[in-house]
Each structure stands twice: as C-alpha cells, then as structure tokens.
Amino acid sequence: MTETVKNRELLEDAYRRGYDYLLKWRACAPTVFAAVMDALGYQNDSVAEELWKATVGLAGGTGNMAIGTCGAMAGAAAAISYSFGYNKEEIQKDITKMLKICGAVAEVGKKMQEKYGHIVCQEVQFHHWGKAYRFTNPEAGLEFIKMWQETKGNFKCQEVTADLAKWTTEKILEYNPQFSKRKQA
C-alpha cells in the first residue's frame, strides 16, 4: 500500500470519526480532538484522554456562548499543538516553534473560512441556517436541540467536525508524520 493510499485511509477515518463522534458528545471541540487522536492511534492514550477533558469548555464558540471560535476549530488547534510536542521551555527559548504551530493551525482555519465563511461559531451558524443560537439562552438552546433532533443524524455541524478532523489530521501528517502511532506505508 502506498503512502498516499495509507494517508487517504487515515484522513477518511478521521472524517468518519469527526462525523460520528459529534452524536456522542454533542460538542465540537472534544469531537474533533478525539477524532484526530483516535484516527492517529491515540485511543486509550492517558495523556490524550486528559487533554480531551480540557477541550470540553471550548465547545459552542467557547462555553456555549457562540461568540468565540467554533469548537471544531478549537479542537483542531489543540490537536495540532499537541502533535508538535513542544514544552514551555522549548517555546520560551525559540519563539519560532510557537509560530510554526500557529501557522499550521492557521492553514486549517483558512480552509474552514473558505468552506464555511468564518471560524467564529455564530458566523458558521449563520452560514448554515441564516441565524445563530446562543446556547446559554435556554430558549435558543431548546430550539437548537429540536432542530438537531429533527435531522435524524445528518446534522450540518457533523460536516464541520468531520472536515476539521480530516484537515487537522492532514496537517499533522504533513508537519509531524512521526506523531501518528498508526503504521505508515
């Protein structure tokens, strides 16, 4: 199997997980982070599991306020940052390491902007539905949940988490192929 075929399989796996996992947790940030980590072979990895916990509050445009970065993008940023493996001292000594991480994250962000119009949660919602939901507002939250339930597992946010999981995995394989625990061809 060629490297291109193997990478395509990894990207398809990340996409599928990004799509399916959203139904488990109903939160974009932990969905994308887990989809990427699992696709790259980090299921049951204790460090990745601990980092997953830190992504939960990034969902719904940060704390479900919808005014921050889309949770899918936040989860992508967390996964990319983790893949570089730099610690505080390494970044303190060489700021270009941080800039390299941010550059990779921005590449995914640009793809998101191209397809969904923005990286901010409420703007992505406007792209999909012509309106935005502040999930912290109980009435808006209930309306959003009702809309979600009516889609019967084919929710527009699933496409976002799937795409972000795929694009993030692609960037990690480009910048840090050694990070993948799955055998490369």
Measured between alpha carbons, how far is residue 92 from residues 78, 96, 97, 100, 115 in Å? Answer: 19, 10, 9, 14, 35
What single-letter DSSP state applies at residue 2?
A: -
Q: Mean per-residue pLDDT for 56-84?
A: 96
Every domain of the chain and the residues it spans: 3-179
Q: What is the pLDDT of residue 3?
A: 62
pLDDT over threshold 60, residue 185:
no
Angle CA 122–170–73, to nearest 5: 15
Of the two residues 150 and 2, the one the predictor is more confident about is 150
> What is the spatial distance between Cα 98 and Cα 164, in angstroms, rounded to a whole number?
21
For the stretch 13-63, pLDDT in tens is 999 999 999 999 989 999 999 999 999 999 999 999 999 999 999 999 999
For the stretch 119-142, pLDDT in tens is 999 999 999 989 998 888 999 888
Q: What is the pLDDT of residue 148?
A: 82
Q: Mean per-residue pLDDT for 134-160?
A: 85
Q: Give the number of residues written for the chain.
A: 185
Q: What is the pLDDT of residue 152?
A: 63
pLDDT over threshold 60, residue 149:
yes
Scan for tokens 């974009």, then name that residue: 28
> What is the spatial distance between Cα 108 and Cα 51, in angstroms, rounded to a whole number?
20
For the stretch 80-106, pLDDT in tens is 999 999 999 999 999 999 999 999 999
